[in-house]
Structure 1
Amino acid sequence: MTQGSPDSAATPPHGADSEVGRLRTVMLHRPGPELKRLTPRNNDKLLFDGIPWVSRAQDEHDAFADELRRRGVEVLYLTDLLTETLEQEEARAAAIEEALRDLDLGDTMSGYLEGLLGESSPAELTTYLTAGIRNDEVRGGFGLVTSLLAFDDFLIDPLPNLLFTRDSSVWVRDRVAITSLAMPARKRETELTELIYTRHPRFVGTPRMHGAHLEHVEGGDVLLLAPGVLAVGCGERTTPAGAERLARQCFEAGLAHTVLAVPIAQERATMHLDTICTLVDVDKMVVYPNMADSLIAYTVRPTGDREASGRLVLEVGKAEPFLVAAAAAMGIDKLHQIDTGLDPVTAEREQWDDGNNTLALAPRVAVAYERNDETNARLEDAGIEVVRIAGSELGSGRGGPRCMSCPVSREPLGA
């Protein structure tokens, strides 16, 4: 079984209704051979901001996981779950079909790869699917297509962004939303995640929604502000249509009564909503102050009526300041803002280093990169216990503790 996995009788219920309920189970991805595929020529194409020192990134990630375990969090690893899933023949066949579906390699190499993947063990297949296969690594299937490819061209691309498990799935109460990643280089991440949630014994019967084939929604844009209240960032990666689709599904399933659609300026450092703000308590949020005043939200609720087609009629409110709209939806007097950094300059630097991207372990307890001194000091002044972790190499992909973790189980608030 996956490291840290309990027996079935002790398995906590899956699901989350907030960002800050006590964290019980989390899915991570330990940096692996896929990161060793990055070069200065391909890292932009593969959507990774830098080229990490992989062994140091692994050490930092291991320390992160160990800190979670010390605080009673069950740690699941995505590749362990995938390998266990691939022990089933039907799952193997589905994974291979998905991996080869969109490849433009010609019949000769495609046929060879189908045989190679089909004969591999579950662990080997996991490595092929996550670390990819390079042209100079195959021992057959040679033909016109591969003759014209460079030796270091990938036949199956690696997935270095698997590190950011938050993006490919989001739990909303007891249901998991399989997201639809906007960039082609990340499409297979959702396919592998969906395979796990569909076929791994632990998750059999889990209700699912959304999916890789629907409008684009990425997990970094979805914040569970409070039970029944979601905020969805709309910008570079999540489209307004994706936000509407997710909202409809949540309303139909009774998972939410309010969704806040939050437009995000398309800047390099603000890809997702969680690069701008994250919750650290039921009424406290760390926010990038250079964008706080311009951040707005449109409140979306079901009216209770239905169109002739049967679809819910949605009411979209006028734009309001995000923190004001969020507090009203959450049923609190005020959502307190804790600024990133000390001033606009340090705020910009520490936001770039993921100072906003915290992972709440419980109300008033949050994991943060140790390098963001000013932000961490502000959090502590506001009564937040800061669990500091190293991130000099983990942060090279422009993602913090929240990006690197998908909560699978949180205690309900008030439990």
Structure 2
Amino acid sequence: MDSEVGKLRAVLLHRPGKELKRLTPRNNDQLLFDSIPWVGRAQREHDAFADVLRGRGVEVLLLAEVLRDALEDPRAHTAGVHAAVDDRRLGGDLGDSLRSYLSGVDAPTLAEVLMSGVTFEELPAAEGASLVRKMHHPHDFAVDPLPNLLFTRDSSAWIADRVAISSLTMPARRRETAVLDLVYAYHPRFRHAARAYGAHSAPIEGGDVMLLAPGVLAVGVGERTTAAGAESLARSAFADDIAHTVLAVPIAQTRATMHLDTVCTMVAHDAVVMYPLARDSLVAYTMRPDGDGSMRVDGPAPFLTAAAEAMGIDRLRVIDTGLDPVTAEREQWDDGNNTLAVEPGVVAGYERNVETNARLEDAGIEVLRIEGSELGSGRGGPRCMSCPIARDPA
């Protein structure tokens, strides 16, 4: 896969499940949600999103299903049990008890534990005393849920024919790495896929990785991806000969701009939809291989200029998310910039971003509108919710 806009052939999504029902006013901030979603509505919205993609000929893989399939492999099952149990949290005795229980459950049950977590009340009965168990509230989590699995773009990203497993920054999301590792290591479809990046490397998240053109990557550096992560990914991509230029793009470290794809996304080979306040402020440091394993770093330069030069085009067209600052800020918050290209000039976007969608259509971009009143409560749009696995060449 060499671009963001080649015709989408296969994508990995995660249908909201029990993990979202674990959110309460007491824990939603810690679990990175701005409100408590209505789960049934979120599921209906997600089903409609998946159907829109299927209607365009896209193969939709659901994370829960591929995880269950992967866990049928005994090696994956053992690794899954290890990923679920943290002795530093539970202590040795309680950890051993939970490990013993999970070792005997079937693949669907273990998959549910990995995704939805386990409260102390739900732990299997165990003989003997456990201070850890006694001192926790029954509804505290012995295994944390992963409500952000919904945003499959962040936990992995495909570059060329390789998959990059993200090194997730926020504590609430770190165990997602283990889930995706299991899928890509043991599911028959992905078992032989080469890795473009390791989960235990410097912090980098898929929402910050953008395939601007064949061989050209942009990597946001901000709240979730560090400069060390961007450099590590660049060196790995150069060594694997899957990129010749990587642009490191500093972004504001705020909730509203947590990833590069909350600021801009590709909508055509030569066009992006972009938050207008970032248009003139975004810069880029350009990294290129310099022979003998070394690397050259140039810049900073204006992002749009550096991107067009790296892509070999005269300019990168920009479609703003609003004519006035208030509308632009509102629609950026509601993921107006976070579109998913289904093919060149055709994108999926939240229907609520009326101004952005109108501006896209005025620029010749077809918008497939989807509902997102509940899906957006974790601050993520169609691009965040999708990990493209295969696209036609750009």
2:153 to 153, 160, 166: 166
What amino acid is aligned across from residue 31 of structure 2 in structure 1? L
The answer (yes or no) to whether the contact 1:81–1:200 under 8 Å persists in 2 is yes
- Cα offsets for 1:325-371 (capped at 9, x unmatched): 10000000010010012211100000000000000000000000000
What is the deviation of 1:143? 1.7
- In structure 1, distance between residues paired with 2:213 and 2:83: 36
Q: 1:350 maps to which residue? A: 331
Q: Secondary structure at the match of 1:104?
A: helix
Q: 1:196 maps to which residue? A: 183
2:135 to 148, 151, 155: 148
- In structure 1, distance between residues paired with 2:50 and 2:225: 28
- Cα offsets for 1:26-48 (capped at 9, x unmatched): 00000000000000111111122
Are residue 360 (structure 1) and residue 360 (structure 2) matched?
no
What amino acid is aligned across from residue 207 of structure 2 in structure 1? G
What is the deviation of 1:103? 4.1
- In structure 1, distance between residues paired with 2:88 and 2:4: 38
Q: 2:73 maps to which residue? A: 88
2:95 to 103, 110, 117: 110
- Cα offsets for 1:221-261 (capped at 9, x unmatched): 00000000000000110000000000001001110000000
What amino acid is aligned across from residue 353 of structure 1 in structure 2? D
The answer (yes or no) to whether the contact 1:288–1:339 under 8 Å persists in 2 is yes
Are residue 74 (structure 1) and residue 59 (structure 2) matched?
yes
The answer (yes or no) to whether the contact 1:285–1:337 under 8 Å persists in 2 is yes
Q: Secondary structure at the match of 1:57?
A: helix
Q: Secondary structure at the match of 1:120?
A: coil
What amino acid is aligned across from residue 241 of structure 1 in structure 2? A
- In structure 1, distance between residues paired with 2:87 and 2:256: 30
The answer (yes or no) to whether the contact 1:187–1:212 under 8 Å persists in 2 is no
What amino acid is aligned across from residue 378 of structure 2 in structure 1? G
Are residue 178 (structure 1) and residue 159 (structure 2) matched?
no
- In structure 1, distance between residues paired with 2:333 and 2:247: 25
Q: After the TM superposition, which residues 374-385 of structure 1 pair with which residues of structure 2 at under 5 Å, given as runs?
A: 374-385=355-366
Q: 2:311 maps to which residue? A: 330
Task: Check 1:158–1:194 CA distance in 2 against 1; reply closer, same or farther (3 A cut).
Answer: same
What amino acid is aligned across from residue 148 of structure 1 in structure 2? M
Q: 1:7 maps to which residue? A: none
Q: Secondary structure at the match of 1:166?
A: helix
What is the deviation of 1:268? 1.7
What is the deviation of 1:49? 2.0
TM-score (norm 1): 0.93
Are residue 100 (structure 1) and residue 81 (structure 2) matched?
no
The answer (yes or no) to whether the contact 1:233–1:264 under 8 Å persists in 2 is yes
The answer (yes or no) to whether the contact 1:342–1:375 under 8 Å persists in 2 is no
State the percentage of identical aligned residues. 63
TM-score (norm 2): 0.98
Q: Secondary structure at the match of 2:44?
A: helix
The answer (yes or no) to whether the contact 1:222–1:273 under 8 Å persists in 2 is yes
What is the deviation of 1:96? 0.7
Report which stretch shifted further, 44-53 or 171-180. 44-53
- Cα offsets for 1:159-199 (capped at 9, x unmatched): 00000000111111101111100112211111110111111
Q: 1:388 maps to which residue? A: 369
What amino acid is aligned across from residue 246 of structure 2 in structure 1? V
What is the deviation of 1:138? 2.2
Q: Secondary structure at the match of 2:189?
A: helix
Q: After the TM superposition, which residues 16-415 of structure 1 pair with which residues of structure 2 at under 5 Å, given as runs?
A: 16-101=1-86, 103-141=88-126, 143-304=130-291, 306=292, 312-413=293-394
- In structure 2, distance between residues paired with 1:30 and 1:377: 28
Task: Check 1:148–1:101 CA distance in 2 against 1; reply closer, same or farther (3 A cut).
Answer: closer
The answer (yes or no) to whether the contact 2:168–2:204 under 8 Å persists in 1 is yes
Structure 1 vs Structure 2 CA RMSD: 0.9
- In structure 2, distance between residues paired with 1:147 and 1:332: 64
What amino acid is aligned across from residue 61 of structure 1 in structure 2? H
The answer (yes or no) to whether the contact 1:287–1:356 under 8 Å persists in 2 is yes
What amino acid is aligned across from residue 341 of structure 2 in structure 1? A
- Cα offsets for 1:98-136 (capped at 9, x unmatched): 221454212232122112211111111111110000011
Report which stretch shifted further, 177-186 or 402-411. 177-186
- In structure 1, distance between residues paired with 2:298 and 2:313: 19
Task: Check 1:114–1:412 CA distance in 2 against 1; reply closer, same or farther (3 A cut).
Answer: same
5+ residue gaps, structure 1, are 1-15, 307-311
The count of corresponding residues between Structure 1 and Structure 2 is 392
Report which stretch shifted further, 92-101 or 137-146. 137-146
Task: Check 1:211–1:314 CA distance in 2 against 1; reply closer, same or farther (3 A cut).
Answer: same
Deviant stretches of 4+, over 3 Å? none
5+ residue gaps, structure 2, are none
Report which stretch shifted further, 258-267 or 22-31. 258-267
What amino acid is aligned across from residue 21 of structure 1 in structure 2? G
The answer (yes or no) to whether the contact 2:162–2:195 under 8 Å persists in 1 is yes
